[in-house]
Structure 1
Amino acid sequence: MTTGFVRGNHLTLLYNGADYFPALLEAIAAAQREIYLESYLFEVDVVGIAVLEALIAAAARGAQVSLQIDGFGARHFPAEWRQKLADAGVRQLFFRPEVGRFSLNRQRLRRLHRKLAVIDGQVGFIGGINILSDLDSPDLAPRYDYAVRVHGPLVAQMRETANRLWRHTAWVQLVPDWAKTLPAPQMPMRAGKSLAKLVIRDNFRNRHAIEQEYLRAIETARDEIIIANAYFLPGYRFRHALLRAAERGVNVVLLLQGRVDHALLHYASRGFYRSFLKAGVEIYEYREGFMHAKVAVVDRYWATVGSSNIDPFSLLLAREGNIAVRDHGLAVALRDDLRSRLSEDASQIALVDLRRGRWLFRVLPWISHGIVRILMAISGYGGKRYLE
């Protein structure tokens, strides 16, 4: 079945910021009517300034520019740039602005984590790349991530998704003029042959859509599953789907974060290594730089690229956006790059590795996992059910 998948798209896999930002800036520079841009992080560095200047130039040409960034992820966005954007006519909204560092309001956990751009209703971008330079350090490889450029009918869904959230946030923040429904651009024409599906996670009708899309692909896999995910803390159903796949002879490969970025999630993730390794799942840790990818390939045909980690924060709390594709060309291109990273930039983990080192680092995964469960239970967002 192809329920939810849209035919007629042309998809381009973009590798890291080196591919993504030139493509995004080129599309913004060509915009004539409208731009929607969503991001969790937006740093005013060399990359961020280039994007901001491109948005200002587009507004000067008469395009309606709508920038929505997360109120926590972009809480340090400079006031002077907010004013520059406002003066240029760029509309800007901050999703759930932070009201206090120590606020106990659990709604603050619900973040806008997706990375989405739609220009003139004709070209869209979706993936895991925030608006910031991916050069973390001169001693490290660029941050490892992906995005997809989309031409074709799926762009209409991407545009409607961005527009719907924009109008919702505008109403909540009492900006009714920005919440008005505007005519949609002309429906994008067929641009290729790829089957693609926009998969979003929100807190209404799409609470489990991304996880369910993964599970369908995993449960029907026959040959190979490769998952690369920066923050990997899967729930019960996801873990057991992978274990069952390994039991029926599927080659299951996980490429995970090798450097400590967020310590709690990093060590909690390691708490699952033993059960996966015993089942024959291959685990690799990426060490050349910081990994931010959230992608997967199944049987060289199904693939997903997006913003959603496989952890409770993404799958239970945040607004996320992935693209799922049934396209041999894109799936093979992604698989080939993942296989290259596995062989050149990652270290394979063996059971014996888990028994090495000081006792503290052997028990730290279980302590971290317990803390995450407690935090999710306190939040009231299903931690026990998810992490059992």
Structure 2
Amino acid sequence: MNFLFLFLVLILLWATFDFIYGRKLHLKQLKPRSFPLRHSNFKLYTYGQTLYKELFTDIQQAKHHVHILFFIVKNDEISHTFLQLLMEKAQQGIEVRLLLDRIGSHHLSKQTIRKLKQHGIHFSFCHKVRLPFLFFSANQRNHRKITIIDGKIGYIGGFNIGEEYLGHNTALGPWRDYHLRLTGEGVQDLQTQFLHDWRDDTNEDLLHENDYFPILEKGETSHQFVPTDGAYLQQTFLDLIEGATKELYIGTPYFIPGKKLMNALLRAKKRGIRITILVPKKADHPFVREAKLPYCRKLIKAGCHIYEFQDGFFHAKIVMIDGYICDIGTANFDMRSLYLNHEINCILYGSPFLEQVKREINQDLEASVSLSIQDVSPHSPLSKGKEWIGTVLSFFL
């Protein structure tokens, strides 16, 4: 028993040292990056069936290349359909590059990967677990979801590839998410980000190959892509919150904002900002629901409105400021996205497109119920214990 206790203590000390110094070295090498203000045309998808239909059609019609980065591709029916489509395009002579997060897509078998490569797909896992900081690198995931087709069509948002994103997980029910399709100037920035990630993990540098960057026309919606690599996302969210003058809406599957963002929200409420936050009723990971409850209690006591989505699982990542500025992307409003994951968000500025986004937000709220202080308070020793565990583990959930 003493040996087991000593072993656990040593493991804990090693993990702590590994994480602290791994992150410290990462931040030392990191510089903030941003893309210029662009103008593109956007389409919003909120259900997987529609997204997959149009995404697969665009891939089928590709003439030169298909570049795809997902956090998760499952080993299930829709994933096999997706991968088969990519193999068919590669066999037609179309350049296909597929980059998947090593842990997020761990269900993909070696046999499947070998088959992809045999059919001509350029494949790589990104963010492999590496020495000397095994624990830190295991937690530092590439959470971006990017697709670029012929350098002219781009996709970005919250959906991955799998049956659950079609609502086929009976425990979660219908899957509600936000994903964008764009044409216009902004596609070049998604291409740059993909090729940046591709170079990091394969050492193949294609960033200066003109074939991947065709001339693009301006669209009607002003926007800017903001990539983050386990840092600087907090400042983006702080700027959005502090810029609010009337109302602030946050939709997120995981609401674990941490101290700085929490204080910014409370200050905004004191300024008279109407704050509405939408979270899912159901949870797809242990303790994420419990980890958000202390934040919800403080916000409700301060007069904020917390809603819980009832119609399936809510996975969208969105911040709307004054109905004029909107942030949609891959980053959750939690500490994992703030301090660990590599994300990319799209900040959109006032345009007719945002009216469509507002309609979807209103639809989400209509499918939700408002939470009271009693709803977010623990009612038993077990619920208190689970909340404590969620709080302790909140950085890694």
Please classify the TM superposition score into its range, dividing by the shorter chain length.
0.7 to 0.9
Aligned residue in 1 for 2:196? 164
1:62 to 82, 93, 98: 93
1:315-330 mapped onto 2 (5 Å cutoff): 315-330=338-353
Aligned residue in 2 for 1:88? 119
Aligned residue in 2 for 1:277? 300
1:154-303 mapped onto 2 (5 Å cutoff): 154-171=186-203, 178-179=204-205, 183-184=209-210, 185-202=212-229, 207-208=231-232, 210-303=233-326
1:117 to 120, 143, 147: 147
2:335 is matched by which residue type in structure 1? P
2:67–2:194 CA contact under 8 A, matched in 1 = yes
Count of aligned residue pairs for this structure pair? 360
CA distance in 1, matches of 2:186, 2:347: 11
Question: Alignment partner of 1:105: what SS?
Answer: helix
Aligned residue in 2 for 1:39? 70
CA distance in 2, matches of 1:310, 1:161: 22
1:33–1:63 CA contact under 8 A, matched in 2 = yes
Aligned residue in 2 for 1:338? 361
Quote how far apart the aligned CAs of 1:78 are. 2.0
Aligned residue in 2 for 1:348? 370
CA distance in 2, matches of 1:16, 1:65: 25
Quote how far apart the aligned CAs of 1:40 are. 0.9
CA distance in 1, matches of 2:335, 2:241: 19
Asked if 1:149 corresponds to 2:176, the answer is: no
For residues 184-226 of structure 1, give each alpha carbon's deviation from its aligned partner in whole angstroms, at most 9, with x where no partner exists: 33434224211111111115xxx21x33222222111122211
Provide closer, same or farther for how the CA distance between residues 121 and 302 of structure 1 changes in structure 2, counting only shifts above 3 A.
Answer: same
Provide closer, same or farther for how the CA distance between residues 270 and 356 of structure 1 changes in structure 2, counting only shifts above 3 A.
Answer: closer
Aligned residue in 2 for 1:361? 383
- TM-score (norm: length of structure 2): 0.84
Provide closer, same or farther for how the CA distance between residues 369 and 68 of structure 1 changes in structure 2, counting only shifts above 3 A.
Answer: same
Aligned-pair RMSD on alpha carbons? 2.3
For residues 250-271 of structure 1, give each alpha carbon's deviation from its aligned partner in whole angstroms, at most 9, with x where no partner exists: 1111111211322222211111
CA distance in 2, matches of 1:339, 1:295: 13
- TM-score (norm: length of structure 1): 0.86
Question: Alignment partner of 2:159: what SS?
Answer: coil
Quote how far apart the aligned CAs of 1:46 are. 2.7
2:44 is matched by which residue type in structure 1? L
Provide closer, same or farther for how the CA distance between residues 68 and 368 of structure 1 changes in structure 2, counting only shifts above 3 A.
Answer: same
Quote how far apart the aligned CAs of 1:283 are. 0.5
Aligned residue in 1 for 2:3? none
1:354–1:362 CA contact under 8 A, matched in 2 = no
Question: Alignment partner of 2:338: what SS?
Answer: helix
Quote how far apart the aligned CAs of 1:182 are. 5.5
Provide closer, same or farther for how the CA distance between residues 186 and 38 of structure 1 changes in structure 2, counting only shifts above 3 A.
Answer: closer
Provide closer, same or farther for how the CA distance between residues 355 and 95 of structure 1 changes in structure 2, counting only shifts above 3 A.
Answer: closer
Quote how far apart the aligned CAs of 1:121 are. 0.8
Any stretches of 5+ residues in structure 1 without a counterpart?
172-177, 377-388
Any stretches of 5+ residues in structure 2 without a counterpart?
1-33
Question: Alignment partner of 1:56: what SS?
Answer: helix
